[in-house]
Structure 1
Amino acid sequence: MNFWNTFAALFSNFGALTWQMVVMWGIGALLIYLAIVKKMEPSLLLPMGFGAILVNLPASGAITQGDTVGPISALFEAGMSNELFPLLLFIGIGAMIDFGPLLEKPWLMLFGAAAQFGIFFTLFLAGFFFDMKDAASIAVIGAADGPTAIFVANTLKSQYLGAIMVAAYSYMALVPIVQPPVIRLLTTQKERRIRMPYEKGNVTQLTKILFPVVVTVVAGLVAPASVALVGFLMFGNLLRECGVLNSLSETAQNVLANLITLLLGLTVAGQMTADKFVRPDTLLIMALGLVAFIFDTAGGVLFAKLLNLFLPEGKKLNPMIGAAGISAFPMSGRVVNKMGLAEDSQNFLLMYSISVNVSGQIASVLAGGLILSLMA
């Protein structure tokens, strides 16, 4: 009799399985599919997808159950509840970015600022459905910057962290699908064929070294809540540009960034339990995230079109570069360049679009800091 009781106990967990858990298995499988087959942000979507399955098994040992602390829950407390993982990732991102082309043409920073319009429009819209702190966290999906979205949502103690993270990284991966229709809708073929010959400028090593320091100081004075976000990003860039810490810069770009991304994916998945994720609010958050991306893209394009009203013929801008102002580095810059070449095989917009894309990285971090300052 004891044998049969023990044998039956092995399958008793099936009774605790719910349809919501099965739905989360499907979402996890979808993320794994996108990572492996479609190659969409595989370093993040793969651990997120597998983690979503791990934490949605009945009585999963991967997350805390009663007094027993699960490893994914422990990782969350160690690196997410205090925003440590996103900030460490910013060091790696900063070390990857070359601000040189942007410093050659600093006026391109205006497009990075314009492309944050979607964040504030979505904040206004989300305020009708969520309390202001959750609405602000959801709006930062439009930053197109996963670490910033994590940082803001954690700092504001949003209850929708899992949905926000899935939306932020999913839309970042879907930039090549989301942006082109919006760009085509807002521009004419003639505008998309405007050529912008790139003239390389000269940026001194001292300028590259001073830039991250100055940006950090200015950001701290204007939006103190952004100091951690901006500071860690700029510290990573200083590692790159100082010229005496090449090994640390390479470590930050590769080992550190890859390790933290892996831990981020698993840790975020810990918040994707069925009870938190399978509900109408999640669908609304996904929809608002899409709105944020669309209006970010539109903001950048329309700003370029506005400038063209005052520029003489022959000096007009290709409005598509404005779309690269969202902080989906370097995907958005590549999308704009590809669209330019599709319209005209001699229309090379890569240097302009990547420069605008880099400015969007800075602007998105500052926007996140500004949101935190407004919510303080």
Structure 2
Amino acid sequence: MQELFGNLCNLQWQQVVMWGIGGLLIWLAIKKEMEPSLLLPMGFGAILVNLPLSGAVTQVLSTGTEVGPLDVLFDAGIANELFPLLLFVGIGAMIDFTPLLSNPKLMIFGAAAQFGIFFTLGAATLMGFELKDAASIAVIGAADGPTSIFVANFLESNYLGAIIVAAYSYMALVPIIQPPVIRLVTTKKERLIRMPYAEKQVSKTAKILFPIIITMVAGLFVPRSVALVGFLMFGNLIRECGVLDSLSETAQKVLANLITLLLGLTVASKMQAEYFLNRQTLMILALGLVAFVFDTIGGVLVAKVYNLFAKQKINPMIGAAGISAFPMSARVVNKMGLQEDNQNFLLMHAVGVNVSGQIASVIAGGMILTLFA
């Protein structure tokens, strides 16, 4: 009984705040269905690691050091970049590049939507962050959790936990953040532009060659991106080769879900109150939002510039789908198109931009590593 009340005396108000943050993540996962496979374990993990003397994380006690299982998982899966890379295999197996191959010019908007990464890199540097931390924070703008983890861990950022939480939180908040930003930089007339979709036939050979060629090109020009791009494209090759259907299904469902579950719990090991509740974390969350917003704006503005010279206008909203949050961003753009005009179906165009953004984000991550590692 004395030990019980002694442990309660160790409870700090910062830990209670983290319980609230964990509860909020759980609420968003269950009530709002925002990335539940990730936010639910993250939220529960945040509560788990902020219990006084929690056995889930490493504790230095008078009797010696007790290694927590979440720290073991972190060392086994995130410290060596294993979890993000395995997750990329699953993501690659989910992606259908047919809309992009049918209309290759959509790659322009996927690349343009990475503008926020480099804008935020400069902003974070000016705010006093070390260059490696500024580079890691900037990648939040890709809205790509695995890339954020890979880059921040590779650069040995001092704020890995905050960066990971910000990256995945903004991914989940795509339906809330993007619509007002898109409306801010587009007119109603632009949002009403219809884009008829006539799907062009893409041969099986082209679908098989695409991930191989992309990997080789990325490797030749941005060598640091090979691990990221390669695992993503390998997952896609499993999907398209036609002889590994059961393995493709396993990668899409079992592998991706299992790694996401472990990733969410493991990330929580870096959400302990003493490391998480500080001024730098709030600054990172703010800078991550800046990166996310400017990525969205960058994609839309390049689409608007394209319309100045194009005979066949495109709906500039699809440029916003160039962030890497697949497929949430494409769904958001399609929903906004239908709200303006219930016969304006933008999904396939937005998906094409969205998958090009997935490729562009991992290449951008590789460029960051090349420049600052």
2:35 corresponding residue in structure 1: 41
Matched, 1:221 2:220: yes
CA distance in 2, matches of 1:28, 1:199: 45
- 1:313-359: CA deviation from partner (whole Å, max 9, x where unpaired): xx111111101111111111011111111111111111101110111
**SS state of the match for residue 243, structure 1?**
coil
1:28 corresponding residue in structure 2: 22
Q: Please show how residues 225-236 of structure 1 align to structure 2 within 5 Å.
A: 225-236=224-235
- 1:292-331: CA deviation from partner (whole Å, max 9, x where unpaired): 111001001000110111123xx11111110111111111
CA distance in 1, matches of 2:103, 2:296: 21
Worse overlay, 90-99 or 190-199? 190-199
**SS state of the match for residue 338, structure 2?**
helix
CA distance in 1, matches of 2:113, 2:54: 42
- 1:70-120: CA deviation from partner (whole Å, max 9, x where unpaired): 110000010110000000000000000001111111110010000000111
CA distance in 2, matches of 1:22, 1:200: 53
CA distance in 1, matches of 2:283, 2:80: 27
Task: Give the drift of 1:194.
Answer: 0.8
Q: Please show how residues 246-325 of structure 1 align to structure 2 within 5 Å.
A: 246-312=245-311, 315-325=312-322
2:2 corresponding residue in structure 1: 8
CA distance in 1, matches of 2:313, 2:253: 39
Worse overlay, 154-163 or 247-256? 154-163
CA distance in 1, matches of 2:260, 2:248: 17
1:3 corresponding residue in structure 2: none
TM-score by length of 1: 0.97
Unaligned runs of 5+ in 1: 1-6
Matched, 1:363 2:357: no
Matched, 1:326 2:320: no
Matched, 1:125 2:123: yes
Q: Quick one: percent identity of the two aligned structures?
A: 74
The runs of at least 4 consecutive aligned structure 1 residues that moved more than 3 Å come to none
1:143 corresponding residue in structure 2: 142
Unaligned runs of 5+ in 2: none
**Paired positions, count:** 368
CA distance in 1, matches of 2:73, 2:58: 11
CA distance in 2, matches of 1:305, 1:235: 34
CA distance in 2, matches of 1:45, 1:369: 26
2:88 corresponding residue in structure 1: 90
- 1:183-205: CA deviation from partner (whole Å, max 9, x where unpaired): 11111111111111111111111
CA distance in 1, matches of 2:3, 2:163: 38
CA distance in 2, matches of 1:43, 1:374: 33
Partner AA of 1:48 in structure 2: M
Partner AA of 1:339 in structure 2: M
CA distance in 2, matches of 1:190, 1:171: 29
CA distance in 1, matches of 2:93, 2:240: 8
1:73 corresponding residue in structure 2: 71
Which of 53, 56, 60 is the aligned partner of 1:59?
Answer: 53
CA distance in 1, matches of 2:5, 2:77: 35
Partner AA of 2:92 in structure 1: G
Partner AA of 1:359 in structure 2: S
CA distance in 1, matches of 2:199, 2:35: 31
**SS state of the match for residue 57, structure 1?**
coil
